[in-house]
Amino acid sequence: MTSPLFRVLGSAWALPVVTPYLPRTTMRLCLSLLSAGLLGLAACAPPYPEPPDTRIETVYDTLHGVVFADDYRWLEDQAATETREWIAAQNAYAEVVVGSSALRDSLRGRLARFMDREDVGSTREVGDWEYFTMRREGEEMGRIYRRPAQDDETEEEPSPDGDYDVFLDPADFHPEYRVPVSLGDVSPDERYMMYTVRQGGADEIELRIRDLETGQDLPDRLPSALYGGIDWDDDSQGFTYVHRDRYIGPRLRHHALGSDVAEDPVLWGDGYGPEVFIGRNETPDGRWILYNANHGWARADWFIQDARSRGPLRPIVEGVAAHFQVRYREGDLLILTDWNASNYRLMVADPADPDPEHWEERLPEGEDVLQSYTFVDGRIYATYLHDVADRIRVFEMDGTPAGEIDVPDHSSVRVSRGEEEGSLELTSTGYLQPSRTWALDLETGERTLTDSADVPFDTAGMVVRQLWFTSADGTRAPLYVMHREGIELDGSHPTILGGYGGFNVSLKPGFSTTRATWVEMGGVWAVATLRGGSEFGEDWHRGGMLENKPNVFADFIAAAEHLIAEGYTSPDRLGISGGSNGGLLVASAMTLRPDLFRAVLCTYPDLDMIRFWSFQDANNMPALLEYGDARIPEHFEAMQTYSPYQAVTDGVEYPAIMLTTGDLDTRVPPLQARKLTARLQAASASGLPVVLWYDEMGGHAAGRGRPTSLRIEDSARELAFMAQQLGLSMPSQTP
């Protein structure tokens, strides 16, 4: 039998080509004439070459009385020889479709100017040395260096021109820089340094410990797995850590140096299943130990323990359907919560008597969402989200309002204590505005720009607007749109619409090299605010989770229709882009309204929601409390209306789509993208390409686990595909 790889590489179309943009109506006419024998192949360019053959072997599942046919179950076997050949064939086909072109070369060069820049991390002083991460221009990945500790009065920041000792070099772990390495915590006696080793983009890490006196690693090593909450003991002879077992659940364990890791005892966590995250932290004064159990993104439980007596854990709050973020400050527990307050409020509790009935309200719920807070010079500086842009409001310590800090429009903002007494550090970024930091004198209000991201992007002539659209059920939501000044709203503009809509995540303004490149080229980029996020509080989040998840896709479709109605674009010029849960978003929107979009970029996506619960080896089990579990009838009823893999129908004219994933995505199983690729290649009648780009070491974590050159190449490939499909070309002059 001829392998799929041979059929691709041995075919007449193996050389990369670039196909010009054609409206879908023209493509439809060409295909009709070709099938009728009334037009020669050369007279109708494209059509695109046929994708690799994929064998069909149908498996039937029945759930709640509904029968589902799965033609590509065999592609779930990631290690099978046939699957590996199929992946190689798909990568070759993707390169044929995208092709080599001046456009792709220009994109690669422009993105390199954005992404291949020196990056120097902050220093960490340990004994007589300072440790820091630095990547010089042209390097694939940052190295971890050390230098002698600096005198406070003469200290200078590390420089790419400097000569320093290499402490850890990723090249020593993988010659092609596919194994990211990161520093961890230092033992209290400053003798031991933890560091983590990650295979590609996997979520799992391996924990190692370096003896800073000998320069050698200890034999103690946590094998590759899901870990969190790693804290050294006060005597530096051991540490606690959370190990998340995908089948059993999370457990807080303790390791004594020199002992067998396999025998590490469980301290806490028995009874929690794999859909729960747990954590532990000791208060800075050593008086209390706080424990938390987050049930996915649905609710949180908190407990407290007397650190002196190590007596039983006492609930702070347990079994309440709300979120709680607990901090300890100067003898008080500070609790940021949406309990009876969808937009959040700040409560204060006594750690010795933490029952909720004794909590006091410090900052009440307001019209905007309270996201975070910090303390500077005896005042509370609270960050609120107002119509998906940050606002900073000031309060006295008793909660009395004391003013507001002016911030740029349409921006995300972070505040912290300044270096000088009586000052505040304010950092801001926007969709087309790289990060800037000011020192703010709290007495005079004077601002001094202290840092600005060294990004070669000219904001002059760029526009960011906020529109509002109305979803199918009457819900209104914001839609950010960015483009060059002076465009005519004639429906002609190649446009990419993105969104997320899930997991209580606020999709706020922030600079992106991909968006900046697209807008520089003359395109339009839009970002929709969707239910499922936290942009308008917990009610907004719950409006897009579990049985309400279909609202997210209705919102996204309404945002697309609004862009068209306002004259920014048309269905033949509109593309959509999303990753992870955002990949589910764009794939679902594509199957629900294939007529509305010309192109789809779907990266590292969840796609088979009916069987998501069963992919336990590589899925994120806490997501069951967000997406739902198809084994539960009420969840199933909602999920079968949008699960993309089951929604694909033969003979439908689907948009062009590029999917991306990798073997080491251990958060979103890559088998889903493999199967949807095969299904769409067989089903679509549009003549537009369905391609999969697959990285055997790619995953969700650590920038997909890709070194700099491959991340640049990924972005160039993806933007070239979208530009070709939507008819956007690189201007003759780029910055």
**pLDDT, tens digit (0-9, with 9 covering 90-100), for 251-273:** 999 999 999 999 999 999 999 99
Is residue 58 included in any domain, yes or no? yes
- Cα 626–chain centre separation: 16
Quick one: pLDDT at residue 546?
98
CB contact at 8 A, 660 and 604 = yes
- Burial label for 698, CB within 10 Å (0-12, 13-18, 19+), is buried
Residue 144 lies in a domain: no
Name which of 201, 10, 87 is nearest 659 in CA terms: 87
What six digits make up the tokens of 207?
């924990």
For this structure, is 295 an active site residue?
no
Q: Give domain status of residue 349, yes or no.
A: no
- Average pLDDT, stretch 639-643? 98
Query: Which residue do the tokens 């999917």 mark?
Result: 659
Handedness of CA 148, 138, 428, 714 (dihedral sign): negative
Q: What is the pLDDT of residue 25?
A: 65
What would the two tokens of residue 197 be? 């080793």
Please write the tens of the pLDDT for every residue from 182-204.
999 999 999 999 999 999 999 99
Identify the pLDDT of residue 4.
32
Contact yes or no for 726/19 (Cβ under 8 A): no
Dump pLDDT digits (tens) for 603-638.
999 999 999 999 999 999 999 999 999 999 999 999
> Is the pLDDT at 26 greater than 80, yes or no?
no
Query: Where does 504-549 have alpha helices with state H?
Result: 513-520, 538-542
List, for residues 149-187, the tens digit of each pLDDT value.
988 767 789 999 999 999 999 999 999 999 999 999 999
Is a pLDDT exceeding 60 seen at residue 241? yes
Q: Which residues contact 185 (CB under 8 A, 6 or more apart)?
A: 194, 230, 231, 232, 239
Residue 8's pLDDT band (boundaries 50, 70, 90)?
very low
pLDDT score, position 23: 74
Q: Are 323 and 625 a contacting pair, CB within 8 Å?
A: no
Give me the pLDDT at residue 155, please.
Answer: 77
CATH number for the domain including 483? 3.40.50.1820
pLDDT score at 11: 34
pTM of the model: 0.94
Question: Looking at 101, 106, 700, 709, which residue is catalytic?
Answer: 700
Predicted confidence (pLDDT) per residue in 512-568, tens digit: 999 999 999 999 999 999 999 999 999 999 999 999 999 999 999 999 999 999 999
What is residue 40's predicted lDDT score, i.e. its pLDDT? 42
Let me know if residue 323 belongs to a domain.
no
Count the domains in the chain.
1
Is 162 a domain residue?
Answer: no
Using CA atoms, how far apart are residues 142 and 708, in angstroms rounded to an integer?
10
Mean per-residue pLDDT of the chain: 93
Is residue 158 in some structural domain? no
Pairing assessment for the beta strands 690-695 and 656-662 based on DSSP bridges = parallel
Which structural domain, as residue segments, surrounds residue 32? 4-112+457-726
Contacts of 265 (CB under 8 A, 6+ apart): 253, 254
Q: What's phi and psi for 259, nearest 5 deg?
A: -95, 170
Q: Decide the pairing of beta strands 433-441 and 205-211.
A: unpaired
Q: Based on the residue annotation, tell me whether 700 is a catalytic residue of this protein.
A: yes
What is the tens place of the pLDDT at every residue in 214-233? 999 999 999 999 999 999 99
Contact 415, 425 (CB under 8 A): yes
Please answer whether residues 573 and 511 qualify as being in contact, where contact means their C-beta atoms are separated by less than 8 angstroms: no
What whole-number distance in Å separates Cα of residue 385 and Cα of residue 389? 5
List 580, 643, 684, 709, catalytic entry = 580
Of the listed ranges 329-343, 626-640, 718-732, the least confidently predicted one is: 718-732
